[in-house]
Amino acid sequence: MYAEHEQEAPARSEAAPTAFRAAEKLYQLRREQIFRQRKGKRVSKGVTVRATDLTSVLDLGLAGEERPLPLGVARLPAQLGVPSCMPPSAAAYAFDAHPGLLLVRGALPPGLQRQLVMEAFTRFCEPPNHTTLTRTHPAGLPGIWAATQQGLRLQPAGQAACEAASGATGTDVSTPDGAPSDGSASSGRTTSIWGAGGGGPTADSLLRKLRWATLGPPYDWTQRRYLREAVHDPLPPQLRSLATELAGLAASLLGAAAAAGSGGGGVADGAASCRNGAAEGSLGGASQAFCPDAALVNFYYEGDTLNGHVDDAENSLGQPLVSLSLGCDAVFLIGGHTRDVPPTPLLLRSGDAVVLAGDARRCYHGVPRVLTDRPLPAALRADGREGGSSSSDAGNAAAFAPFARHLQHCRINISVRDTR
Ligand SMILES: O=C(O)CCC(=O)C(=O)O
Ligand SMILES: [Fe+2]
């Protein structure tokens, strides 16, 4: 990973004016005071969001949509092997200016998007996974999503008991109602750390502070290393196989594009992949199999940014990083090996996957803007109905509705890595 990111607009206005920084400033949300004249005086009329010009942001369109592509962007032929787990409308793109970068538009089917969103707010941000809140709440905040839905508050006594019982890593933990459902995948319920009264913080205020969670070995931003010795669950198998499929796709598509002399490139023979948990190939080289074992889940709200960085804490930088977008659209910047290289702004939508492989794996990238003012795709809206109209579909839609409401102003990114 990288140095712990700021997710508030950075205060460093004196930051070196690199090309990357200039692009970040262009897209960051900025609020401006507006004034009017009253009796010859300038009086504040309030605050407004500065209009951002997004015309230079490369938008490849919605899944299934065909748009003329700008020079230097190639749509890669699907027959090279879009995995069957992806929708037929998925389309993969390579970029001449960024060898090794693959964008798979619409890679995640709607049902999988919904499932990952629900897990992000339940299982992924619960013990033993570490989160933004682990420092202040070492035993974690199990059941935080369900508690938010019920308007509950943290009960200091329950939290203390939970910490004592869990040895500050929290395995036998609680939800407010003790009833796991689609909205609370947590397990093991004994005492509740949430309640209706008291002076503790509301679950909602705590959830809003949640900016990241780590899956697999937790990452320590201070030591800049993965804590393999810490109690952790393995990376969820679904993320592991999804990332492996996408990395394999990137390897074959980008490799083929490079061989044909257009787009892609920068990826050594990447067909090797880690299946059934068995690594193939030798350690340390480009021929090593991709075995994703960790992920960072980022939660973004209006005004949040992820500053330009290179993910360089993994031992095997020869292995790709696979990044999945959910919820609100975002502007993603991908640059070069230094911040002086002007980055390309790309629009990312829910369901898109980005693979940073080969040369792109060592390039600066970041998220200067989350676009919280746009409608979500139908599959993620509270009123959305994707698929049939059976009673189980209706049940699923009802279970997803609170997540859909939350997502209207939230973006989730899951970046899957091989840390060995
Ligand atoms: O949110 C994104 O799209 C990028 C996330 C990222 O760069 C990271 O987690 O390292
Ligand atoms: Fe990153």
Q: What is the pLDDT of residues 264-307, one digit of tens each?
A: 555 544 434 454 333 333 223 346 799 999 999 999 999 999 99
Asked if residues 100 and 361 have their Cβ atoms less than 8 Å apart, the reply is yes
Q: What residues does the ion ligand 2 have nearby, CB within 5 Å?
A: 311
Q: Can you say which residues are annotated as belonging to the binding site for Fe cation?
A: 309, 311, 365
Question: Using CA atoms, how far apart are residues 347 and 353, in angstroms rounded to an integer?
Answer: 12
Question: Using CA atoms, how far apart are residues 205 and 136, in angstroms rounded to an integer?
Answer: 14
User: Which range among 230-234, 277-281, 286-290, 416-420 shows the weakest confidence by mean pLDDT?
Assistant: 277-281
Which value does ipTM take for this structure? 0.99
State the pLDDT at residue 162.
64
Question: Using CA atoms, how far apart are residues 130 and 398, in angstroms rounded to an integer?
Answer: 29
Please give all residues whose beta carbon lies within 6 A of any atom in ligand 1, as ranges: 296, 298, 306, 311, 323, 325, 332, 365, 367, 413, 415
The alpha carbon of 1 and the centre of ligand 2 are apart by a number of angstroms equal to 7
The alpha carbon of 101 and the centre of ligand 2 are apart by a number of angstroms equal to 13
Question: Using CA atoms, how far apart are residues 351 and 348, in angstroms rounded to an integer?
Answer: 9
- CA proximity to 243, closest of 354, 111, 350: 354
Which residue's CA lies nearest to atom 2 of ligand 1?
413
State the pLDDT at residue 184.
41
